[in-house]
Structure formats: structure tokens, C-alpha cells
Amino acid sequence: MLSLALLFSPLTALAADVPASAIPVDRPDLPWWGPRHAQVLEQIKAHPQAPLLLIGDSITNNYEKAKAPDEDFLPTWETFYGARGALNLGFSGDGTQHVLWRLEHGEVDGLHPKVAVLLIGTNNTGWLKQGALDTQLGIDAVVAKLEQKLPDTRILLVGILPSDLSPEKTRADTEVNRYLAERYADNPRVTFLDIGSIFQRDGKLDTQRFYDTRFSPPAGALHPDTIGQRMMAEAIEPTLARMLGEPSRVPMAQLGTSFNPALIPVPWLEQDSYDWIARHRGALATARTLHPEVVMIGDSITHFWSGPPRGVRASGPESWQWLYGDRPVLNLGFGWDRTQNVLWRIRQGELDGLDPRWVVINIGTNNLTGTDHARTSTPTEVAEGVEAVVAQVRERLPRAKVVLMGIFPRGRHAGDALRKPIKDTNRLLATRFEKDPNIRFMDIGTRFLQKDGTLPEELFPDTTHPSEAGYRIWAQALRETGIGAP
């Protein structure tokens, strides 16, 4: 791949055959484009302390509209961005090359924002008719330019939103998003966020969340409508608030109620007693040398069992040894993880290059609890999140036998608050997977409980995490599947 340093000079870029997506160019054919650029420069002079920038095309530009009912975006802007003193650098129809021109001609000069939100690329694969590779290079060039001009700013890079303009565009956008997820996985200044799942319903694009479909005649879905734009802002908000180091503009329990956050891949959400990113990197390194026969995927319940990479504690080393002996087993349990975190980790390569015989998945219990960083998910949402994790495992490890665990019981007594949502979630998972020949679903919750539903302290001292004795029960259940058989 050509050095991005070449992208800062149009003449050099032309000589080096850099694609048009990475060559800065303006749009003099549009009478409104130059005046808008001049207006943005005036706004920058008037607000040099702006802490937040939104950079992009019409989807960002649209926040300035207040046209009910389908294009009433200004209230969403005021709630999430205007109240923060943000500047709108969205220009309708722009591709990466146009953003590059604007950045080279003063649109961020003199600014020192905490975060820049970048949503660009859909026009490259759309009306500009550029392929996935060219679009990737264009987005890389924009990111590089922002890193150069705003050295103290973090970048929230949002994946290209889904559309239904053509199957070719959809394939290109999917390829671009997959590339961006991998390209920026280890960049401390850039966070990639793919929120496309919020526009999916029953595995298909919900075209009613795009106002283009209500034109006369109807057009292909491309621009989110009033509700869709609000959904987009809510999906971005938890990550944006964390990057800004401030509370969410809307209480977490009220965010994402019209879509499923359990399906949006995100990195760590909770500040815990260990370095989440360091464990992710350790898992990547361990996997390449271990060549695991078994991969364990989950949250702290898996994390705290035993095995490599070494966790902050090992609460069940004897049962681990009894089950696995000297077999190579990779522990991909991460404390506080939800399904969305596992989806992010899988997307960032934790299963790449592996060929295990078995995969054990135990995830979902944290989705049923809310914090300042994520709202409580419903049993249906959790089941959908678990199903997405299973699908990703099956896609990447098609030869592995998959064991999916039902969520373990929590709370000391049968009437404790989490018992019912856990039971409801497990019922949904059983319905979905019990007849799937590729998945072994195991709900062993009753093995931990006394007849009156009490969860014994000797098995779960803190009512959530097993003791050595509790892990032994899990180990015995897994032995029954043949995982630990000699």
C-alpha cells in the first residue's frame, strides 16, 4: 500500500497513481458548495474552542434540517451535539477527496477538539462509482490528514451505513467496513464503530428508516429519516461520551430502546480491575503460539476459571486441569464483557488463523445488567446478541464443534431480580439452538441450585462467579460432551 505521506500532495499523488478518492479536489460546479465552505471557516473563527467536530457528507449535513416529519434532525443535533458546542462539517454529496480538499483549505485550522466524528465513504461507493479498495485508501487519507492537523484529537470513525442502492454497493461497503475494523483495531487515537445493525430488522435492511423510500417516485434507501438519525446518534453516544470523558447526554437506560445495542461491536465499556486492551493483545499473541484444541469464549466467569492467557485471578485451576490436562486451551473470557464486546473481539481477529476442535461460548449475563456505560438488555435482545456471536464463530471456525452454555443463575435466592430474565433468555436460546445440529446447547443452571432455588455460597461465593467447586460442576458438564475425553 502506498505511503499516506504521498496523499498530502496532489501532484505527487497523481504521479504515483494514487486513486481519485485520495486526491484533494473541490466542487466548483455546485453553487452552494463554495459558500458553505466559507461559512464553515467563519464558524471556526467564531468558535475556536469547539470540543467536537462532525465531519462527513449529507448524512452529517442533514443535522441542520428541521423539516417534519421525515427530515426533522435539528432536535437530535441539539441534544447530542449542539449542547456540546459541536461544529457541523458535513457537505451533501461529498466523497473522501472533497473532505481532503476542505481539510487542506482551513476547515480544522486553529481548532483543538477532543473528538472528531468522521462518517464518510458512502458517496465514494455510490455516485462516485469507486470500488472498495479506492474508498479504503480515501478514508485512510482523511484519517491521516486529521491525525496530522489535529494531533491531540481522538477520531471516532463510523462505518459506512447500509443502503439498498445496489448489491454491488452493499458488497463494497461491507468490505470497506471489514477493512476499517481491522485497520484501526490497534490505533489508540482512532475508534472504529460499525452501527449498521441498528437498521436491520429480521436480518434485512429496514428501508422504512430512510426517507428516500418515501420520495415520489421512491428512491433507494440511503439517508436515515428523523427516527433513523436519532437511532444513529443514540448508537454512537455511549462511545462518544466515553471518548469525551463526560456523561451521556441522555441517561443510558433511555438510549437504544428502538434497536439492539447487544449487536453493535464495541471495545471495552466498563473500567475494571484489569487492562482490557492488553488482554486482547495478549490473547492474539497467545493464540498464535498455542494452536488451541479448545477455545473458551465469555465474560468474567470464563476469565476467572484458569488457562492462558493468564487472568487477574484463577478461581478453578484444579477443575480446569481435571478437564483439560495438558491439552492446549485458549481462554478468551474477558471480565465485564457483553455480547457486543465479544463481537468486537472476534472482528478484531481473536479467532483468525485458529482451527480448534471445540469452542465453548458462555456469554450474556452482563447484558442483563445496566451500568453508566450500557443499558440493560431484554432477554430477546440478549438472545439475539448470543446468536450473533454464535454466527460469527461458525463463520470463522466452520470445522469446530460449538458448545453454547445457558446463562448461569445469579442471585442467592429463587426470587432474586435476575433469575427471571436469565430463565427467559435461556428459554429463547433453547428454542433457537436445541435442534441445531451444529450447536450443542447446555443449560446446566439447575445443577448449581438447591431444591428451593437457592444458589449455594460454597458454589458461587459472590452469587455470580463460581468457586472451585462450582467450576467442577461446569467441568463435569463439559466432560459429558466429549471435550475432555482422553
- The Cα 204–Cα 191 span in angstroms is 26
Provide the greatest CA pair distance for the chain: 78
- The Cα 354–Cα 313 span in angstroms is 25
- The Cα 39–Cα 37 span in angstroms is 5
| Cβ-proximal residues to 426 (8 Å cutoff; 6+ apart), any chain | 406, 407, 443, 445
Tell me if 302 sits within 8 A of 368, measured CB to CB.
no
Q: What is the dihedral of CA 106, 108, 110, 112, to 10 degrees?
A: -170
What secondary structure letter does DSSP report for 338?
-
Residues involved in catalysis: 300, 462, 465
Question: Residue 466 CB: number of other CB atoms within 10 A?
Answer: 23
Helix pair 379-396, 419-433: axis angle to 10 deg: 40
| Cβ-proximal residues to 71 (8 Å cutoff; 6+ apart), any chain | 62, 65, 211, 225, 226
Q: Which three cell numbers stand for residue 52?
A: 467536537
Q: Which three cell numbers stand for residue 437?
A: 445440529
Helix pair 468-481, 317-324: axis angle to 10 deg: 20
Q: Nearest Cα to 425, choosing from 367, 370, 361?
A: 367
Q: Which three cell numbers stand for residue 53?
A: 467536530
Q: Which three cell numbers stand for residue 54?
A: 462532525
Tell me if 50 sits within 8 A of 87, measured CB to CB.
yes
- The Cα 99–Cα 106 span in angstroms is 11
Which backbone phi and psi does 333 adopt, to 5 degrees?
-90, 135
